[in-house]
Amino acid sequence: MSIKIIPAIDIIDGKCVRLSQGDYTRKIIYNEDPLEVAKMFEDAGLRQLHLVDLDGAKAHHIVNYKVLERIALNTKLVIDFGGGLKSDKDLEIAFEAGAAMITGGSIAVKSPETMISWIENFGSDRIILGADVSDRKIAVSGWKEDSGLDLFSFISKWQKKGIDKVISTEISRDGMLQGPAIQLYQEMLQHNPDIYLIASGGVGSAQDVLDLEKIGVPAVIVGKAIYEGKISLDAIRKINTLKR
């Protein structure tokens, strides 16, 4: 099995930024133009992009859809988009702007009936479940709230509703570059073997990516490690070449 590397672009004020552990006060601006970054990823042979509207996450509705639209119009990247999506209108805007898929996290906890309607109206293949976790419990609202929900039961519930793609961030590792939560992802694949698991958080080297591949993780989101030069685009290109 070959692991898919999905680069991340997080947007605040239309700029490409990264946070540490979801903390808006620990923000670093990496590029004023997210499209430039997206083209760089495409040129490196990457095919998918994880685009997060951090302004939207704060505002509880889509904000940076124009950034999404620019990237979708000017690259061939398959974009999964998340951050503050709360209503059918938000999803319509996201899909019209060029998102191939959206991620629903807090909404799946706080308004499951809305998430169910999205699955029914837009198709389960276009909806990714966001399962962000701390101590095996689902965290919501920009990681500020512990929902008390067990990670594995939460995923199982949404699998039964037709969801098969799950992005899971181990919050304590996000942006820290100290390695992904290998044991957590092993447990997830044991409890929910049929999910398409997209690991997120902690990746700090090319070896981290290969370690995730070894345990059977099919895809990984990489952000800060690229921006900080811990993983070069050349290294990613080589990993992708080896997989073909």
Question: Of 10, 80, 90, 174, which is the active-site residue?
Answer: 10
- Confirm whether 132 is a catalytic residue: yes
Pairing verdict, β 4-12 and 15-20: antiparallel
Gap between the Cα atoms of 190 and 2, Å rounded: 19
Q: Where are the beta strands (DSSP E) in the chain?
A: 4-12, 15-20, 23-31, 48-53, 78-82, 101-104, 127-130, 133-134, 137-140, 145-150, 165-169, 196-200, 219-222
Residue with the two structure tokens 């951090």:
54
Rounded Cα distance, 205 and 226, in Å: 9
DSSP state of 207: H
Alpha-carbon distances of 11 from 125, 154, 223, rounded to whole Å:
24, 28, 12
Half-sphere exposure (Cβ direction) of 229: Cα atoms closer than 13 Å: 0
Query: Which residues are CB-contacts of 202 (< 8 A; sequence separation ≥ 6)?
Result: 170, 173, 174, 176, 177, 178, 179, 180, 181, 208
Q: Is 10 an active-site residue?
A: yes
Candidates 80, 90, 132, 208; catalytic one: 132
DSSP string, 18-53: EEETTEEEEEEEEES-HHHHHHHHHHTT--EEEEEE
By annotation, the residues acting in catalysis are 10, 132
